[in-house]
Each structure stands twice: as structure tokens, then as C-alpha cells.
Amino acid sequence: MPFRLLVPLGLLCALLPLHYGAPGPDGTAPDPAHYRERVKAMFYHAYDSYLENAFPYDELRPLTCDGHDTWGSFSLTLIDALDTLLILGNVSEFQRVVEVLQDNVDFDIDVNASVFETNIRAFQTPTGMPYGTVNLLHGVNPGETPVTCTAGIGTFIVEFATLSSLTGDPVFEDVARVALMRLWESRSDIGLVGNHIDVLTGKWVAQDSGIGAGVDSYFEYLVKGAILLQDKKLMAMFLEYNKAIRNYTRFDDWYLWVQMYKGTVSMPVFQSLEAYWPGLQSLIGDIDNAMRTFLNYYTVWKQFGGLPEFYNIPQGYTVEKREGYPLRPELIESAMYLYRATGDPTLLELGRDAVESIEKISKVECGFATIKDLRDHKLDNRMESFFLAETVKYLYLLFDPTNFIHNNGSTFDTVITPYGECILGAGGYIFNTEAHPIDPAALHCCQRLKEEQWEVEDLMREFYSLKRNRSKFQKKTMSSGPWQPPTGAGTFSSPESQDQMREKKPAKQKVPLLSCPSQPFTSKLALLGQVFLDSS
């Protein structure tokens, strides 16, 4: 079912600057250092505009140079921009903003917030799948709709497993896993999930199946959760979905929307949110398919200078009332992942085109404005927080091959704890769906359960130390000398003797490890091998 279409040359000439699709002026790939500095300047133009004109509101309105609240009234843009500051190397501003946020942001407010957008959850339903909206002060409103999108149910495991690890409370990871499993159990006989489901009854309300809006980050979190937690079951679930997606939704390296029970095409459109998929494919090693799909999406970018929200594949043009581009990051995100995997200069060309296009069309005096219509480049009075959290970040990382985020494990930071060495910053960072990086090593280094494990080992050492001291005053009964305890790891005693020790365990004050277990969760952020505490 071929959908490759020729775009009229006159249309391309009318819409695109001459540099589109071409390498650098001397025939080489774009210069990473040049565009890295351009991206950094883009960030500070937007960031400074937000601080000067919009803080403490959630978002900047760049055309009127003021701010407004969108997702919950807690300075969302500043929170979202926080780790981008570190990736750009601005540690001092990062530390200043951490203090500002800790002193001024309050989540106990009477505001209805999106559960998906804020990652603050309400899971008390018969199915274990959360509501879509929750009041931050009062919980779920009595009249709240039980209909939630698939992504709003399946996008928790990365953050919640991290939270459980750092606090020692398994409830966060448990509810996230239950939600994932309920979606898995609700898939159709042909292996697909729909777009919206009733969290009280478990019945599908919207039965369109695809990889885009309303579903996207569910698949993303199965892969990223599997990598972060080394969980084979999560990966197996995704691979099964991937087979069904290929069988029923993929046509000529595009992905369409189909009816979840029958597999018949319901919408032959490409959504800009689907552009994360090539990056996700690269994470499971499917590079060839990832590049083919990426190049399809890149042709749309080159056609308009951005990705319209909806693109009709057979017609090769935008869909009515979906012609805008709110500066989304997904295609740039895929380019970053694929460039790390392949080094293909075509991916740098996408980054170059994105910088040139966004600066030419979207830049205004007070930041960068959403493009309301890619056909005539009309602007809208909004700069969503993901522009600083994701779009600029992925652009910078595309052009910065030596950034600490790209560490391959060849360097790391060793932190000395009361019980031995701990490793941080060795790479392997996992980005959540808002591009906030999590260091997998921090989950183990600051793990509360590990503190308890080390305490048990310490008690064992004390036990055998006392036994050795007593043996000095006893008569030798063996020609080989006094008895010594085993020295190998995990061989201090039998399971039976360990159970006896636990029953007789004396009271002992816990020793903070890296100041992590004893600190509030807001201060447990480890990046660049440093732990930033409340007093920093």
C-alpha cells in the first residue's frame, strides 16, 4: 500500500529556505560546535524571557510578554528547565533555581491538575488504572470522568520505580506496575490497545490503535522501564506489542491508525507526536527500520519547516485544524538517539534545519512562539514548557557528543560512603517522557533498601569480631590454629543463623548514606556525580 508521494517543486521552493536538505556551504555536514552555541543562545533567550516576564506562572506568553498558568500553577517552565541548565553546564544557576523552587513552590493547592502531565497520581479505582485528573489538595473530584487515555495510565513506571527505590516505599512502583498490567490484560485478540479506556469498568471507549497521541508514552515506558530496571518482562511485553504494530499499522514505513479489534485503517494520518518512534526503535537495536521511518518524517519537516500536528499521508498535506507546530521535540529526540547509534550526518542536518526553522519562524522579542499554522507561519501566544525541557535539550545533545549524558561508562565518580564505595555518573541515563534524565546508578547508590542490607552486613562483621576476640582466651583445639569466619561475600553465616540474628538484632541508629535516605525526596537529585542537598 504505497504512500510515497512527490511534493510539487513549486510548493517546496515557496516554503523552504535554500539551505534545506543540503549539507554545509562547503558540502560538509553541519558544524556541531557552531550549532551547539546557537542552541545555547536559543535556550537563554527563552529562559530569560520566562524569568523576566512570566515567572511564577506556569508558562510564558511570548507575543504579549506575560505569563499564564496551564497544568497546575507551580512554575512549570522553571521546573522543566532545571536539568537543561545542568546539561548546558550552568551548575550555579541550577543550584540557585533549586533553592527558589524549594522556597516558593507549594503542591498542596486547590487546583485540578492533569495526572499524566504532572506525574501526581490517583490510583484508587477498581481496575488499578488512575483517573486522568486529580485535585492536588482534595484528591479526585466526585464528578471526575473515569475515561483516561492509554498513555495517562501507562506512563508511570520510570518515575515511580525511582521514587520507590529512593524512599524505600514499594507502593509507588507497585501501583505503576498494576496499571501497566491492567493495560496489557486489556489488549485485543490481535494484540493492540485502544486510545481511551474507562478506569472503573476497564472497557475501551476509543478503539483507535496507533503509536501517537494518547498511546505513545505507554510504549516508551515499557522500553525505558525495562532498561532502567533490567526487567525482561516489560521488554517482552513491548516486543509483543511491536509485532502487532508492525502487522496491522505499518504501511511503507509509515504508521497508521487502525481499529484495535479488526486491524482496519481508521485514520491514514501521521501525527507529530509519533516522531518519537524511530528513537524508541533505536533503543531496541532496530536501526534499519528506525532510519527508514525517520526519513519519512524528515520529508514532512522539509516540506513545511516543521511537523504539523496531523499530516494526511495519502494526500501529502496537513489536516484541517491540525496545521500547527508547537515546537515539539519528538523528531529531534529521534535524531539524537539515532545519531548516537549511527553517526549518520543526515541526522545533524535535521538538527540544523530545526535550529534555522525555529529561529526564522518562531523567534520573537520575548521567547519563541508556537507556530499556529505551518502553511503561512502565523504564530500563537504560547511557549510550552517542553520547549526548554525537551526541544532545546535534545538539540543541544545532538550537537554535543562529549556531554556527560553521553558517557559510555569509561568515566565515573566514586563516592565514599560509611560502608564502601558507590558509583555515580557512569552513563546510561534514562530520559523520562519530558526528557528529564535519571542516573540508574543513583537508584542503587541512594537506595534505602541497600542501607538496610549494609546494616545487616555490619552486624555480621560485629558478630564475628566478638567471636574472634573471645577465641583468644580459649584453648586451641585444632592444629591449624584458631577458627576464622569465612571471608567471601555472602558467606558470613547460614540462612538459619541469619534468621536468629535478625530476631536478636539490637537497636542501632541508622547511618545516612550519601545523605540520601535521610533527606526529603526533593533533595535526592544526583547529576554530574554530585548530590545537591538542601544546604548547597
Question: If we measure between CA atoms, which residue out of 78, 118, 81, 86 comes closest to residue 102?
Answer: 78
Rounded Cα distance between 204 and 480, Å, is 73
Rounded Cα distance between 248 and 260, Å, is 9
> At 366, which helix (H) or strand (E)?
none
Residues 6+ apart with CB under 8 A from 7: 299, 303, 316
> At 533, which helix (H) or strand (E)?
none
Q: Which residue spans within 369-508 are E strands per DSSP? A: 370-373, 378-380, 413-417, 420-424, 430-431, 437-438
Rounded Cα distance between 353 and 304, Å, is 11
**216 catalytically annotated:** yes
Q: Say if residues 321 and 372 touch (Cβ distance below 8 Å).
A: no
Q: Where are the alpha helices (DSSP H) in 88-206?
A: 91-104, 115-118, 151-154, 157-167, 171-185
Q: Identify the active-site residue in 58, 59, 83, 216.
A: 216
CB crowding 87-120: b at 16 or more within 10 Å, else e: bbebeebbeebbeebeeebeeeeebebebbbbbe
Q: Identify the active-site residue in 173, 309, 390, 400.
A: 309
Please, is 476 exposed, middle or buried when counting C-beta atoms within 10 Å of its C-beta (0-12, 13-18, 19+)? exposed
Question: If we measure between CA atoms, which residue out of 317, 354, 395, 507 comes closest to residue 87?
Answer: 395
One-letter-per-residue 3-state SS of 12-44: HHHHCCCCCCCCCCCCCCCCHHHHHHHHHHHHH
Q: How many residues are there in the chain? A: 536
**173 catalytically annotated:** no
Rounded Cα distance between 84 and 50, Å, is 15
Question: If we measure between CA atoms, which residue out of 151, 172, 150, 148 comes closest to residue 160?
Answer: 172
Rounded Cα distance between 536 and 534, Å, is 6
> Distances from the Cα of 490 to the Cαs of 155, 467, 487, 493, 521, in angstroms?
37, 18, 9, 8, 31
Cα three-residue angle 174-177-180, rounded to 5 degrees:
155
Q: Identify the active-site residue in 31, 69, 93, 117.
A: 117
Rounded Cα distance between 170 and 114, Å, is 23
Q: Say if residues 222 and 232 touch (Cβ distance below 8 Å).
A: no
Is the omega angle on the peptide bond into residue 56 within 30 degrees of 0, that is, cis? yes
Question: What is the β-pairing status of strands 66-68 and 59-61?
Answer: antiparallel
Q: Which residues pair with 60 in a beta bridge?
A: 67, 383
Catalytic residues: 117, 216, 309, 330
